[in-house]
Structure 1
Amino acid sequence: MSKAAWGGGRFVVEDAGPEQIVTPEDFTEEQLMLAETVRSFVERDIKPRDAEIEKLDYDLTVRLMRKAGEVGLLGADVPEAYGGLGLDKTSTTLLAETLSPASSFALSVGAHTGIGTLPIVFFGTPEHKNRWLPLLASGELIAAYCLTEPGSGSDALGARTTATLSEDGEHYILNGSKLYITNAGFADLFIVYAKVDGTHFSAFIVERNTPGFTIGPEERKMGIKGSSTRPLFFEDARIPSGQLLGEVGKGHLIAFNILNIGRFKLAAGCLGGMKEAIQLSAAFANQRKQFGKTISSFPLIAAKLADMNTLAFITESMVYRTAGLIDQSLSQADLDGVDGGLQAAKAIAEYALECSINKVFASEAMDTVVDEGVQIHGGSGYIQEYKIERLYRDSRINRIFEGTNEINRLLIPATLLKRALKGELPLMEKAQALQRELLNPTPLAAASSSSALSKPIAILSVLKKVFLMVGGLAVQKHGLRLEREQEIVAALADSMIDMYALESSLLRSLKLTKKESSDADRRDNPIDMTALFAEEAAERAGQRSRTILAALEKGENLRIQLSVLKRLLRFEPTDLSVLRKRISSRVIAAESYVGY
């Protein structure tokens, strides 16, 4: 694979090949066995205690987390040298997805293994790692991540918690508070962000029994009720200076890059939730009868299942593609070297843009899937006896966790533009070349009928051209002030999300077609779902781009741009009902998510 093809954001200006992505069809026997270990653990140890966990039983949750540690589930991201499994990100992503049906318990584990433990894995000193990682991997210690404050959420650098070095240099004195801290009720170790001397944003490892450190009462939440969420307070809390994590003033490198991993892992959890909702809904639709027929036989219900399954397939394709990209990036970093933390930060930051894309798409896709799941259940979907009700409530937080979707939408184009300005992407060169092409138009090539994927391929190509056309115009008009035009930036982000989603699904389908050339059943469903998503993405691109152009141009200039847009998006419509019928028939027959 070429280095350029794997660069963050490069999908906007270059086309990747099927061989450059990781897909679920590439899982090894070892990875599948690990997933089965998690699945068995959830079925045997978690689901029978689900009602107790939802009542927020600290002791039970801690006992179960230590049991998860015994089977290796808490040490997946911890290097073997410190008692963990040292797995690649593709494997740990699969584990996060598979754990998702554990509901609130999955969140407790995810907060511990991800944003709670990874700061020490990537940025801890050898002393930090030797002291704490074995205990975190076993579950003897539970971790929490403490960034949000009453006055700063998305604006993390606006934190007001302060840290002052004592006169003897032995301690940092912390004062301030944190809000909405997952695992706070039973965590032993806290990754806390504070500003040294009120200015230098830094990270600290804080132990639960630290004098001056207290924990407030549990928050009463809409969902994820079985997870602990409490505020923290620091009143002259003395933290040994050796528990500074990273360097003074470099806390943002830790916070933002761990959040990138958190966003990506959140998408994997959402994927697992979508699959569970599809299984519950398909089984219910096959059992529930109205007018003498099962409701799964009604086209409107079947269409919902088709759309739900398609969203899960697209998410799955994106998530594992991104896992492969992060693995590739981290493999080129010397994590054990003197500057291992900085190398890790750089490797993760390479795909910050893709992590945000995954987070936004997956969290909103899950909301759609569980909402439709409730609708399929009818009145039963509003009753706590049916788990779809819980999934509906639990899902809503995902659009707020790890940076709101609004903030992530602003980050996506901003990160792309920054990379372009640094010379890391030929973004403006591609936009200018497209403008010259559009000024001297040639007849557009029609999508060939020789391949079932030829039209999605053509649509993806056009989506990229439309983005460069509209985005280039936005940059020309507003320059670096574009970030103030949040509606335009968010619309451009949605364009990038659709491009990455469609390309991920398309590349997976192409890869599967080559791999399974003799088995039509294994490739037909991915092709149908890719085609369905492509058609809808093209429709969204037209509507979205017209809105942006209307904000950028007026009069004759606007009419010219709209004419070009119409010519680019001139596709003959496909009968989507046929695609939905084929997809839904497979889901209904399997009573579960069907990837291929």
Structure 2
Amino acid sequence: MSEVTEKEIVRGGQFLIKETKSDDIFTPEDFSEEQEMMRDSVKEFIDREIWPNKDRFEKKDYAFTEESMRKAGELGFLGVAVPEEYGGLGMGFVSTMLVCDYISGATGSFSTAFGAHTGIGTMPITLYGTEEQKLKYVPKLASGEWFGAYCLTEPGAGSDANSGKTKAVLSEDGTHYKITGQKMWISNAGFCSVFIVFARIEDDKNITGFIVENHADNGITLGEEEHKLGIRASSTRQVFFNETKVPVENMLSERGNGFKIAMNALNVGRIKLAAACLDAQRRTISGAVKYANERVQFKTPIANFGAIRAKLAEMAASCYAGESAAYRAAKSIEDRINARVAAGESHQDAELKGVEEFAIECSILKVAVSEDIQNCSDEGIQIFGGMGFSEDTPMESAWRDARIARIYEGTNEINRMLSVGMLIKKAMKGHVDLLGPAMKVAEELMGIPSFDTPDYSELFAEEKEIIGKLKKAFLMVAGSAVQKYGPALDEHQQLLMAAADILIEIYMAESVILRTEKLAKSKGADAVKEQIAMAQLYLYHAVDLVNTKGKEGIASFAEGDEQRMMLMGLKRFTKYANLPNVVALRETIAAKIVDENGYPY
């Protein structure tokens, strides 16, 4: 691929200022035959090995988690993202997302072990390691012979990851470092072979990464297994290092580069965490539908009641939107990686820069989908009623497992603020032109609105116009906030959170509209009426939320005439010409789900 083509690929954050066409996005309906075969293989493994043994995970059978991971390694699932020269399958970014998606549906315990190993346990060596380090460690990690863990968090260093106190002291003969410190919440600690450890050398500003083999006779001790709300069979322990010797050749990347490694690892982890919530939603919806069809009250299945059907429809719409946005972003990342490789970069550098380019979208997805799975599992419990609160049904464990997703890979609060902060930094670097569009919105607010009757005869004509107006709402609020506070905007966290919610809804709603438009073009609108209803339902809620968060943001920094003008603009930007019949949309969605007795998309 030429350099020119590479530049034409959309950049991270540009969705806000560029109109994206449905033909230009990737959707789950675009999976190749190879990807469908991989998906089916993963589903078959989960249904055979994991789902029937859910009770073993809930009873904290850590040994079974390790055994299941070894089986996943034998089938090649642990090496999907690893280049072939290091023992992996060398598949593209979309395929790695696909495996992460479907391997995560049965239990959060196995999902966490898988994600910690393949992501933050293996990926830092694959992307930052020397050739010698990759040849030594990655093949064993890709096959499941060894397992990896990631030691970043400390008692005093969580979201502020660079504040860790763990020290690395160079030996007098210069052959090794001695690492001393305490790490906590370390997934896979109980059975890992290799730790990725972050420590500070002398008084360096930034931490440094190290590859540390797990040998008990080398000053490494483990705390007891943590007893957690969910992910009960995910081995989670504290790890103590007491002058643990690490050869100098096991430094990962350069001295002081650990913070960058940690942040880039989190970018990948965030989008894959979103994927890891998707099949959990599908299974939760399907379980809730089956129960609703079987549970009879007042002489009829509760699936016939409107209150239950509304819940099922909302659960399905959120899942469908999450799929749409996650795979759209995954393909954007894959295209950027492929373009960089074609331009002569190593796969290592191309993947790092490709994911980093879409860090905004990664944070958006992490927040949106982690909150959707929590809401989905909560409604699943409600549909089951009293039985949902019992450990004898899968909803209770699904709810507990879902709760951690809003915390890992940076809390949702941190990711909300990051998404807006990164967008503003991109604008300041000239990577995304926010100033020009924001000025046009300001001019539009001063002008007289058009009273022409638009033509909404084409499918999604009004919906796409609304998406464009929601983007104007964000530019109005964020642009004015930046103008008022400048660099001090970081200090106004509640305002940033409100702006982030608007940004998130724009990306998610646009993704689901574009996916469905593409699907309708290929199959005909009549054949995908339920998907159309889900897209319209999701957008309806997005518009409502943008209106609410927009008012909250505007009121926090604007007064008098400025406030009145912006509120009038917000009303204009969140107004439907033809308000959708939400009850009818939900009924269309629910009828299909209830008839199919599960999530059918």
TM-score (norm 2): 0.96
- Asked if 1:36 corresponds to 2:40, the answer is yes
The 8 Å contact of residues 490 and 496 in structure 2, kept in 1 or not, is answered as yes
The 8 Å contact of residues 338 and 350 in structure 2, kept in 1 or not, is answered as no
Letter in 2 for 1:132: Y
- Asked if 1:116 corresponds to 2:118, the answer is no
Distance 1:483 1:420 in 2: 16
Distance 1:401 1:47 in 2: 23
**What fraction of aligned residue pairs are identical, expressed as a percent?**
41
- Pick the aligned partner of 1:107 from 101, 109, 112: 112
Distance 1:465 1:160 in 2: 44
Give the match for residue 576 of structure 2: 571
Distance 2:450 2:416 in 1: 34
The 8 Å contact of residues 146 and 192 in structure 2, kept in 1 or not, is answered as yes
Give the match for residue 332 of structure 1: 339
Q: SS state of the match for residue 526, structure 1? A: helix
Q: Which moved more, 1:573-582 or 1:548-557?
A: 548-557
TM-aligned CA deviation for residue 106 of structure 1: 2.1
Distance 1:233 1:326 in 2: 37
TM-aligned CA deviation for residue 337 of structure 1: 8.1
- Pick the aligned partner of 2:388 from 376, 381, 385: 381
- Pick the aligned partner of 1:580 from 576, 582, 586: 586
- Asked if 1:541 corresponds to 2:528, the answer is no
Alignment CA distance shift 1:317-1:54 (3 Å) = same
Give the match for residue 501 of structure 1: 508
Q: SS state of the match for residue 236, structure 1? A: strand
User: RMSD value over aligned CA atoms?
Assistant: 1.7
Q: SS state of the match for residue 6, structure 1? A: coil
- Pick the aligned partner of 1:19 from 13, 20, 23: 23
Give the match for residue 211 of structure 2: 205
Query: Following superposition of structure 1 onto structure 2, how do residues 167-178 of structure 1 map, counting pairs within 5 Å?
Result: 167-178=172-183
- Asked if 1:244 corresponds to 2:251, the answer is yes
The 8 Å contact of residues 122 and 335 in structure 1, kept in 2 or not, is answered as no
Alignment CA distance shift 1:177-1:587 (3 Å) = same
Q: SS state of the match for residue 154, structure 1? A: coil
- Asked if 1:153 corresponds to 2:158, the answer is yes
Alignment CA distance shift 1:196-1:212 (3 Å) = same
Give the match for residue 390 of structure 1: 397
TM-aligned CA deviation for residue 354 of structure 1: 0.4
The 8 Å contact of residues 97 and 330 in structure 2, kept in 1 or not, is answered as yes
Distance 2:155 2:344 in 1: 37
Residues 122-161 of structure 1 deviation map (CA, whole Å, 9 limit, x = unaligned): 1111111111111111111011111111001111011111
Query: Following superposition of structure 1 onto structure 2, how do residues 14-413 of structure 1 map, counting pairs within 5 Å?
Result: 14-103=18-107, 104-199=109-204, 200-209=206-215, 211-334=218-341, 341-413=348-420
Letter in 2 for 1:504: S
Alignment CA distance shift 1:569-1:105 (3 Å) = closer
Distance 2:474 2:63 in 1: 52
Distance 1:254 1:445 in 2: 53
Alignment CA distance shift 1:5-1:499 (3 Å) = farther
Letter in 1 for 2:183: K
Distance 2:399 2:361 in 1: 26
The 8 Å contact of residues 373 and 388 in structure 1, kept in 2 or not, is answered as yes
Residues 543-575 of structure 1 deviation map (CA, whole Å, 9 limit, x = unaligned): 211111111211232222222222333324221
The 8 Å contact of residues 445 and 566 in structure 2, kept in 1 or not, is answered as no
Q: Which moved more, 1:7-16 or 1:449-458?
A: 449-458
Which runs of no fewer than 5 residues in structure 2 stay unpaired?
none
Letter in 2 for 1:3: K
Distance 2:588 2:111 in 1: 33
The 8 Å contact of residues 187 and 237 in structure 2, kept in 1 or not, is answered as yes
Which runs of no fewer than 5 residues in structure 1 stay unpaired?
none
The 8 Å contact of residues 456 and 530 in structure 1, kept in 2 or not, is answered as no
Query: Following superposition of structure 1 onto structure 2, how do residues 480-559 of structure 1 map, counting pairs within 5 Å?
Result: 480-517=487-524, 520-521=526-527, 523-559=528-564
Query: How many residues are matched?
Result: 593
Q: SS state of the match for residue 78, structure 2? A: coil
Distance 1:345 1:2 in 2: 16
Distance 1:480 1:378 in 2: 49
TM-aligned CA deviation for residue 333 of structure 1: 3.4
Distance 1:487 1:592 in 2: 39
Q: Which moved more, 1:163-172 or 1:364-373?
A: 163-172
Give the match for residue 448 of structure 2: 441
TM-aligned CA deviation for residue 363 of structure 1: 0.5
Alignment CA distance shift 1:369-1:436 (3 Å) = same
Distance 1:208 1:297 in 2: 56
TM-score (norm 1): 0.96
Residues 216-249 of structure 1 deviation map (CA, whole Å, 9 limit, x = unaligned): 1111100110110000111111111111111111
Residues 446-470 of structure 1 deviation map (CA, whole Å, 9 limit, x = unaligned): 5533133122112101100111111
